[in-house]
Structure 1
Amino acid sequence: MTTKSAVPPTPSPGRARAALAAVVSTTLLLTSACAVANSGGGGDAGSADGDTLRVVLGQEPPTLEPCESSLTSTGVVVRSNITEPLVERDPTTGELLPLLATGWQQSAEDPATWTFDIREGVTFQNGEPFTAEDAAFTIDRAVNSDLACNVDGYVFGDMELTATATSDTRLTVTTGEPDPILPLRLSFVEIVPRTTSTEAKVREPIGTGPYAVADWQTGVSITLRRHDDYWGEAPAYATARYVWRAESSVRAAMIERGEADIATAIDPEDATEEHSVPYPNNETTALRLDGTEAPLDDIRVRRAISLAIDRDGIVDTLFDGEADPAAQLVPRGVVGFNDELSPTPYDPEAARALVEEAAADGVPVDRRITLIARNSQFPRVAETAEALQYELAEIGLNVRIRMTDTAAHLQYQLRPFPEDAGPVALLIMHGNQAGDAAFTASQYLLSEGPQSTFGTADLDRRIAEADATSGPDRQDAFADVLSYQDETVAQYAYLAHMRGLLGLAPGVEYEPDPATGDEMRLAEVRPAGDARAGDEG
């Protein structure tokens, strides 16, 4: 005889939303009080001397290692500032553009081989010339070494890849199987000199970008200096200085008081029309549910969690409407986005029924689930975690919250996951910077994906088949993958496609784009009125 777990009475959707609003209001009040109490210690990002661009981040980058720059907290400083790739993707149009490579071509005789023409006249920040040998070395270091680079798992997975310099200006890259999007993948590989260590990740990287690392005072600031021998247009500011403040209110206040020029991830309640700019980013928030641990190993419980989330309420109340309820891990504009998917409707009664059904079959639905979120992951992340905890409690699940720093969150985000952690619902924010669902699928959906807790053999097969396609077939194949994941695996309970708010001082001109949260290109920032800024601002 199966014992049914006891659960409290089901509230009506109207009562549930009212209660959620009360929880959110109380949390916001407490958070605001804490922010005001701590705001006096904010400090500034340096003097407004006109030569220094002062940027305040939500957190200190855990590393500046270029092969980790697909991590948002690292890439926002490193990518296109300190280092550069062979190819870059226009974040608005998706077009691939030449950078350290001036052109590329897939071999007609051997489709598994691509040839890249290397830009001449480029020097690293240590004065050494950049050649195809450096490009080959960098690719091998990032993909084939034992460094466990995030770019390896995120972008290349288990791909076999060989890079060879056939001359100083010619690079060939060969893959085990023909890869129709290899140039797109290589846009994530930030080039470093061939003298870079292959035994350990570097603290202060050398690259070909417009800025070089001048100083990193751990816990205090990172300072970049202009690379005077940069091959491209010289950036407007001689120096850039990054500091970090966890509270959005402090970051916003630093802009208003003239203590910073740019502030990332401003909360909606701290934004002002004068000092902040909204922009579409490519981030999607979701709960990743560990399907290897009870009760999350039961698909009924995972589906119940999705039904229990009031996405509209969270978007309206916590995100001030600056987001859209999500039905998949990729936003519109990414190859594979499925127009036919709709956000799971808010239905706590149906969710509770699924939990009760699972409990009747012996699933330990009262086992404590740990909801893990990262501080400064996105505006009002703590309040979002509180709202989710409340909503899941209302359907009979036992959830505790654990807020972490970046390093601790990464332990749960990337394989190998911590042992004996119990059932985990990890609050993630996934940004598909590349514009192709292959990067999402290989990372988050494959059974052994670097950021996936489980999957199925059939889903793995569908992903592999989709990854071999191109053109319209590719769009259809990955749209099918995303739909099939929801129907048969349900590893994710989606929240929202996010929009960002950037704090911007009146004295600078910068137009954020969908990639700003992942790579803020300092060379595109100009003093207000600078003729080189064109029509931006």
Structure 2
Amino acid sequence: MKPSVPSPRRAAPGRPRTIGATLLAGTVLLSSGCAVANSAGGDTGRADGRTLRVVLTQEPPTLEPCEASLTGTGVVVRSNITEPLVERDPASGELNPLLSTGWKQTTPRTWTFGIRSGVTFQNGAPFTAEDAAFSIDRAVNSDLACNVEGYVFGDEDLRVEAVDDGRLTVTTEQPDPILPLRLSFVEIVPRTTDTGAKVRIPIGTGPYAVRSWQPGAAISLDRFDDYWGEAPAFARARYVWRGDASVRAAMIDKGEAEIAVALDPMEAEKDTTAAYPNNETTALRLDGREPPLDDLRVRRAIDLAVDRGGIIDALLGGLAEPAAQLVPPGVVGHGDGIEPTRQDVGEARALVEEASADGVPTGRQITLVARNGMFSGVSETAEALQYQLREIGLNVRVRMADTATHLQYLLRPLPEDVGPVALLIMHGNQAGDAAFTASQYLLSDGPQSTFGTEHLDRRIAEAGALSGERRQKAFADLFAEQNDSVVQYAHLAHMNGLLSLSRSIRYEPNSATGDELRLAEVRPAEGAKP
């Protein structure tokens, strides 16, 4: 069994972003809403030194723990109200025990987990293996349609058994070398939690408990005095939300909040801001079902036409790195040797002309769909891409869409009779393993893929059964093959997030901050008292 690790405080584990991925927090986002400080979303309260005030981009859609892999929920719930059995260190990628004390694979399909003793839920009940088994069964095997079930576990059910208070076994349908990583997405709740409906106010084992949720106004937390780990510095926390990035920044300047998420690049030079790599990657997804995008030459031409450096410098404030694959460095499966495509307008134009000469309708209008508020400068980025694709002889129009419309293009079943589509996406792999990306974006029938190849599908399945260095190499090779023989994606940039922090606190953001903002990691600045 993996050695027990004392974990009075833990590093924030990485989390995947799902269909609600970019609605909130962490990335360089800008909502289309407009507000004035303290005019919407509730009052942040006074600067009393005991309350940590956080301003988000919008109200969380839910606080249900089984939906915590959605960014808008996880940024409040994860590591603050609830905790999982296993944590992933976002810097090293290592898995560490949390509510579990360790684990081992006892058969090809069965894993055994030790359960930490001396842990109490916020309702006063002791935490045991029975609660862990209940939480996994509720999140993965129930009819609640939890986000974590579809994104992390797919259609697979788990057989879960509490052997005794301190031991749990989990059996999968097929051997799964990364089951402990998958379980890091399951937040633990008491076995008395409703199984017929999702909860509004969650109960967990974390350092904070929910005091109140005022719809449209604020969410307030109190420090949980019986927390099993190290007590957080601040006695209370209060979340409010503002749609305008400039308002969020101004709230820090005016002393109305201690943390503001998702700032504009124009704020980057302030000494109150902190930039950090957030595992988000932007790309154009090319729908290969429709001509001219069904022609490999045209897709390669689009990849060659993109001026990644120019877009990053001029429109993203330099807060990004050119991308060559859907996952950034630090994720298992990232290929260090895969270089971003260098812009070559001449070669791109020649490929389009060659395809046209062979009868490909390269003059057919391609719709470039982008979502309002996806990141700061998204509309300008879409217009730059439109210009660059027109320069190589393609007919492109831009459609800026709201979230609901963009999701229709993003997820299967994909819309019909809309013509060829190049969809601007932003994907975050906070899980730290390329399997979550490949299953969603590269499989022929993946939920966020428009096409693929049988050969690539087989390689994805084979890679998912491997572990260690063999797994790393197999997934890196998959991304290289995508770039060479499929080209469903023209990758743009690995993005950075930007926080604003009051001078009264100290906090070091990491690659998981956008999905899991751990309040216990925030400390008063020297001389300031909580």
Q: Please state which band the TM-score falls in when normalised by the shorter chain.
A: 0.7 to 0.9
Letter in 2 for 1:83: T
Classify the secondary structure of the residue corresponding to 1:206: coil
Q: Measure the CA separation in 1 of the matches of 2:281 and 2:274.
A: 19
1:309 to 1:146, Cα distance in 2 relative to 1, 3 A = farther
Aligned to 1:150: 147
Q: Which runs of 5+ in 2 are unaligned?
A: 1-28
Matched residue, 1:175: 172
Q: Where does residue 284 of structure 1 map in the other structure?
A: 281
More deviation, 147-156/253-262: 147-156
* 2:63 corresponds to: 64
Which residue in 1 is equivalent to 2:519? 522
Q: Which amino acid is the alignment partner of residue 464 of structure 1?
A: A
**Would the alpha carbon gap of residues 74 and 289 (structure 1) be closer, same or farther in structure 2, given more than 3 Å must change?**
farther
Cα distance in structure 1, aligned partners of 2:63 and 2:151: 17
Secondary structure, counterpart of 2:370 in structure 1: strand
Are residue 317 (structure 1) and residue 314 (structure 2) matched?
yes
Note if 1:477 corresponds to 2:474.
yes
Matching residue of 1:401: 399
The answer on whether the counterparts of 1:365 and 1:398 sit within 8 Å (CA) in structure 2 is no
For 1:78 and 1:413, the matched residues in 2 are separated by: 26
Are residue 424 (structure 1) and residue 445 (structure 2) matched?
Answer: no
Structure 1 stretch displaced more, 216-225 or 453-462:
216-225
- Counterpart CA distance in 2 for 1:391 and 1:477 is 33
- How big is the shift at 1:220? 2.9
Which has the larger share of helix? 1
Give the drift of 1:359: 4.1
The residue that corresponds to 2:507 in the other structure is 510
Assess if the C-alpha contact under 8 Å between 1:157 and 1:442 holds in 2: no
Q: d(CA) in 1 for partners of 2:417 and 2:218? A: 36
Structure 2 residue matching 1:54: 3-state secondary structure: strand
The answer to whether structure 1 residue 209 and structure 2 residue 206 are counterparts is yes
Alignment of 1:85-164 (within 5 A): 85-107=84-106, 110-164=107-161
Verify the 8 A CA contact 1:59 1:246 in the aligned structure 2: yes
Contact 2:442 2:449 in 1 (8 A): yes
Tell me if the contact between 1:370 and 1:402 (Cα under 8 Å) persists in the aligned partners. no
* Post-superposition CA distance 1:279-331 (Å, at most 9, x none): 22222111222223343333333222222211000111122222110000111
Aligned residue in 2 for 1:437: 434
In structure 1, distance between residues paired with 2:334 and 2:297: 25
CA distance in 1, matches of 2:212, 2:417: 40
Is the contact made by 2:57 and 2:241 (CA closer than 8 Å) also made in structure 1?
A: yes
User: SS of 2:395's equivalent?
Assistant: coil
Instruction: From 227, 237, 241, give the equivalent of 2:234.
Output: 237
User: Which one of the candidate residues 425, 441, 446 is aligned to 2:443?
Assistant: 446
Q: State the Cα distance separating 1:51 from its structure 2 match.
A: 2.1
Counterpart amino acid of residue 96 in structure 1: L
Q: What is the distance in 2 between the residues matched to 1:510 and 1:525?
A: 5
- Structure 2 distance, partners of 1:219, 1:408, is 24
Match of 2:218 in 1: 221
Q: Give the alignment partner of residue 381 of structure 2, picking from 384, 389, 394.
A: 384
Moved more, 154-163 or 272-281: 154-163
Equivalent-residue separation in structure 2 for 1:41 and 1:532 (angstroms): 25
State whether residues 58 and 376 of structure 1, in contact with CA within 8 Å, keep that contact through their aligned partners in structure 2: no
- After superposition, the Cα gap between the structure-2 partners of 1:147 and 1:457, relative to the gap in structure 1 and judged at 3 Å, is farther
1:240 Cα deviation after fit? 1.6
- What is the alpha-carbon distance in structure 1 between the residues aligned to residue 164 and residue 529 of structure 2? 36
Distance in 1 separating the partners of 2:198 and 2:410:
20
The 5 A counterparts of 1:348-363 are 348-363=345-360
Q: Which of 322, 326, 344 is the aligned partner of 2:323?
A: 326
User: 1:398 is paired with a residue of what secondary structure?
Assistant: strand
CA RMSD of aligned residues (A): 2.6
Asked if 1:457 corresponds to 2:464, the answer is no
Take 2:257 and 2:503, find their aligned partners in 1: how far apart are those partners? 11
> Hey, what does 1:6 align to over in structure 2?
none
TM-fit CA distance, 1:215: 2.8
TM-superposed deviation, 1:91: 0.7
Which position in structure 2 is the counterpart of 1:24? none
State the Cα distance separating 1:39 from its structure 2 match. Answer: 4.7
Structure 1 CA distance for aligned equivalents of residues 260 and 160 of structure 2: 39
Q: How many residues align?
A: 498
Equivalent residue, structure 2, for 1:257: 254
Deviations 1:361-413 (A, max 9, x none): 444444444433344433333332232233233332222222323x5544443
Moved more, 42-51 or 245-254: 42-51
Match of 2:11 in 1: none
Number of the residue aligned with 1:303: 300
Residues in 1 aligned to 2:327 and 2:442: alpha-carbon distance in whole angstroms: 12
SS in 2 for 1:429: strand
Partner AA of 1:232 in structure 2: G
Residue type of the partner of 1:67? C
Q: SS of the residue aligned with 1:302?
A: helix
Distance 1:526 1:302 in 2: 49
User: Contact 1:284 / 1:329 at 8 angstroms: preserved in 2?
Assistant: yes
Q: Is the 8 A contact 1:248 1:379 kept in 2?
A: no
Q: Report if the CA contact (8 A) 2:131-2:188 is conserved.
A: yes
Match of 1:73 in 2: 72
SS at match of 2:285: strand
Structure-2-length-normalised TM-score:
0.87
- The range that moved more, 305-314 or 66-75, is 66-75
Shift of 1:42: 5.6
User: Kindly tell me: are residues 259 and 393 of structure 1, through their superposed partners in 2, closer, same or farther at Cα, counting changes over 3 Å?
Assistant: farther
Specify whether residues 506 and 301 from structure 1 end up closer, same or farther in structure 2 by C-alpha distance, changes over 3 A only.
Answer: same
Matches of 1:41 and 1:179 in 2, distance apart? Answer: 49
Q: Which moved more, 1:449-458 or 1:91-100?
A: 449-458
Q: State the alpha-carbon separation in 1 of the partners of residues 315 and 282 from structure 2.
A: 13
* Amino acid in the other structure paired with 1:196: T
Alpha-carbon offset, residue 181 of structure 1? 1.5
In 2, Cα distance between equivalents of 1:196 and 1:411: 33
1:449 to partner: Cα distance = 2.1
On the 8 A contact 1:42/1:250 being kept in 2, the answer is no
Tell me, yes or no, if the aligned pair for 2:119 and 2:205 is still in contact at 8 Å: yes
